[in-house]
Structure 1
């Protein structure tokens, strides 16, 4: 059993059976809805790697997502043009790959980090750690663990930003439209990097390295996977094979963060010009298209060091995009069969070693830098303390006076906890609240609720 390029996309969207009419396609509407959403806008104050704002401008989650979307659009364009050649005479399929695949991949790239909480990946880890550390803490005479079923407990003790993105995009929050953003199944499938539930995690497989959705969105995700004709692997626990478009969104993300983190480190003075230059040229030499021999000459003609590194960054990204395009097309049969147990970038790295120096420098000099470690510790403290205030207030049958005040702080759209008896669903409201916070807001609300600072009206 294998997927087929002519049956893995659909115009169906969450929340409605109506297909939009007008000059903009449904896939273009997906992109536009994401760009203008408050959830996307909040990414401008969420950590990418380095603390914000800083004296030198570095990437945040929003600028990163925009750049990933640019790279993803290029991947979609190159690959779509090649696939479309096999479907001349089949107008719907030909037009989708020739004109719409770039829109799908770009939209998926915009959405790929939309579920990340404040403080980057340390925010995710802090949420998971809080539940693990407080498993036996009693709330209203019951241990915290007793409020959850086994799979529900796995969801919160291994909190996953990818799953949270699916929730933000598809959940019908109180007072909002049915179906969340109302995106096409195709765009949603393109960000399902891990199409399995939390109890199916198996790090030996790329599609099961983490999980991709919470129990609360399981039925919606199942509709998406079936609607896009993805390959089922198991029903209990629920596991599907990856959708082919996932590889393109994933590659765009991998390309951007591996290269742009280096550029940020250079601007901050963490890495020297010579170090970054040599690392980028190593990548370029192993990925450059045939016949391109002028890059070094062009680089030496640029006297501004930052512009020189920016030029090399652009060339390296171009080389990686073209290399990933070839890998996808060369392995399309395995990708459609769901047996390609790799990422495009890892496959390229294994074959050429082009990113060896970049990866080594990133681990040694960037991700272990003092400021990066400090923001991780700050994230742990802020997120843990806020959970310690929010969760007991939600779970206790009779909240204390203080807890009652805390519950009043929840925005209207996140007050579904008032209409459910499920501890899991109540806690998801807390995670919705927390994950929507920017770094700055999370820090400020922490200071206020802990009495470190007091609010000022206006």
Structure 2
């Protein structure tokens, strides 16, 4: 069962772009949301995701996921759900592909360090920085800064996790330039992108955690969701080796969560009585989500991953060293402005100067940040395994 067409974002009824564009020249047969997706895929920020940490430091471990592969996997899951619900697949895919563009090197550890280092200039928030990238810092076009994405794509990036009551400075600047109705709920496509992110990293971090040897399968069996799927796989495929059972566990976990979201979303929409995309924005609640039981099981998975993977003893020294790298670079550029490349030096006051430092560091890949630290400050010590 698909949703009424009026609930899907319609590119022909887009609220437009911040800057009018001269469409002379070859453009191809693409609507507004398809062009948004393509602009994201062709951006420098998107390419840099291939060397940015997901869980394990990006320069090492060829089989571990990085931000780029994670974003592609989120897009696959999001597009599948959008198609099943009759939503706009291209807008959903664009949001999934762009949702992590603003992450600095070394994932959330790097973000924490950048936030602390630049607190006196408003700090750093990766979601706000995503908006800053696509509205100001990317510059492939002759007549404006940014990618000039459609209002619907910017709205979805700004509030895919729901309304934003107190936007951090970068998001506030983007909103002031092109108001995004931050107090309302976003489109169903944005809500699909958000939960596709959860589904992807829950299951894929289990996969990477087991591959690394940090996660213990027996401990995972304490989670009813994992134990139930593992037993079902054993019944379907008796004698299957452990490696293939883990792959089946990841696939089945994603499939179960996707099916649950589809059923629960249809139930919520019927219950809410929404009929148009404007009704969705004014609904006052999230309409795309897990059932109560699945939400409880999904939260248990997250708690297990935080305790037994993200904060594991084997990864803690890496996170500490990564934060030192980012913090040292921020301090170095504050103390020695001449070390900052010319294009990143801002002349509009101290706050602008510090935000230019944040822009430069946030754009670094893991390996470039390491190289810059070794060049400007001193050696870096990161375990080879992760």
Give the drift of 1:342. Answer: 8.6
Give the drift of 1:316. Answer: 1.4
1:384 alignment partner, SS class: helix
Residues 72-128 of structure 1 deviation map (CA, whole Å, 9 limit, x = unaligned) = 111211122xxxxxxxxxxxxxxxx4xxx1111111011000000001011111112
Pair 306,8 (structure 1): closer, same or farther in 2 beyond 3 Å: same
**Separation in structure 1 between the aligned mates of residue 205 and residue 169 of structure 2, nearest angstrom:** 25
The aligned counterpart of 2:363 is 436
Residue number among 235, 254, 258 corresponding to 2:202 in the alignment: 258
Pair 193,284 (structure 1): closer, same or farther in 2 beyond 3 Å: farther
Give the drift of 1:282. Answer: 4.1
The aligned counterpart of 1:119 is 106
Pair 176,22 (structure 1): closer, same or farther in 2 beyond 3 Å: closer
Query: Is the counterpart of residue 385 in structure 1 residue 351 in structure 2?
Result: no
Residues 239-266 of structure 1 deviation map (CA, whole Å, 9 limit, x = unaligned) = 4222123211110101111111111111
**Separation in structure 2 between the aligned mates of residue 216 and residue 207 of structure 1, nearest angstrom:** 13
**Separation in structure 2 between the aligned mates of residue 124 and residue 353 of structure 1, nearest angstrom:** 28
**Separation in structure 1 between the aligned mates of residue 75 and residue 326 of structure 2, nearest angstrom:** 29
Structure 1: state its 5+ residue gaps: 81-96, 133-144, 146-152, 196-204, 231-238, 286-292, 394-402, 454-458
Root-mean-square deviation over aligned CA pairs: 3.2
For the 8 Å contact 1:48–1:120, the answer to whether it is kept is: yes
**Separation in structure 2 between the aligned mates of residue 12 and residue 206 of structure 1, nearest angstrom:** 21
TM-score calculated relative to the size of structure 2: 0.81
**Separation in structure 1 between the aligned mates of residue 378 and residue 294 of structure 2, nearest angstrom:** 55
**Separation in structure 2 between the aligned mates of residue 215 and residue 253 of structure 1, nearest angstrom:** 24
Pair 299,60 (structure 1): closer, same or farther in 2 beyond 3 Å: farther
Query: Is the counterpart of residue 340 in structure 1 residue 285 in structure 2?
Result: yes
Structure 2: state its 5+ residue gaps: 1-5, 275-279, 381-386
- Asked which structure has the greater CA Rg, the reply is 1
For the 8 Å contact 1:283–1:316, the answer to whether it is kept is: no
Pair 22,51 (structure 1): closer, same or farther in 2 beyond 3 Å: closer
Residue number among 7, 31, 37 corresponding to 1:5 in the alignment: 7
Query: Is the counterpart of residue 182 in structure 1 residue 139 in structure 2?
Result: no
For the 8 Å contact 1:255–1:317, the answer to whether it is kept is: yes
Pair 172,36 (structure 1): closer, same or farther in 2 beyond 3 Å: closer
Query: Is the counterpart of residue 110 in structure 1 residue 53 in structure 2?
Result: no
Residue number among 345, 348, 356 corresponding to 1:421 in the alignment: 348
Size of the aligned set, in residue pairs, is 360
Query: Is the counterpart of residue 249 in structure 1 residue 193 in structure 2?
Result: yes
TM-score calculated relative to the size of structure 1: 0.69
Give the drift of 1:280. Answer: 7.7
For the 8 Å contact 1:282–1:354, the answer to whether it is kept is: no
Pair 18,108 (structure 1): closer, same or farther in 2 beyond 3 Å: farther
Residues 408-427 of structure 1 deviation map (CA, whole Å, 9 limit, x = unaligned) = x24x3x35x1xx42333222
Pair 66,112 (structure 1): closer, same or farther in 2 beyond 3 Å: same
- Which stretch shifts more, 102-111 or 353-362? 353-362
1:171 alignment partner, SS class: helix
**Separation in structure 2 between the aligned mates of residue 23 and residue 311 of structure 1, nearest angstrom:** 39
**Separation in structure 2 between the aligned mates of residue 343 and residue 366 of structure 1, nearest angstrom:** 28
Query: Is the counterpart of residue 166 in structure 1 residue 139 in structure 2?
Result: no
1:344 alignment partner, SS class: coil
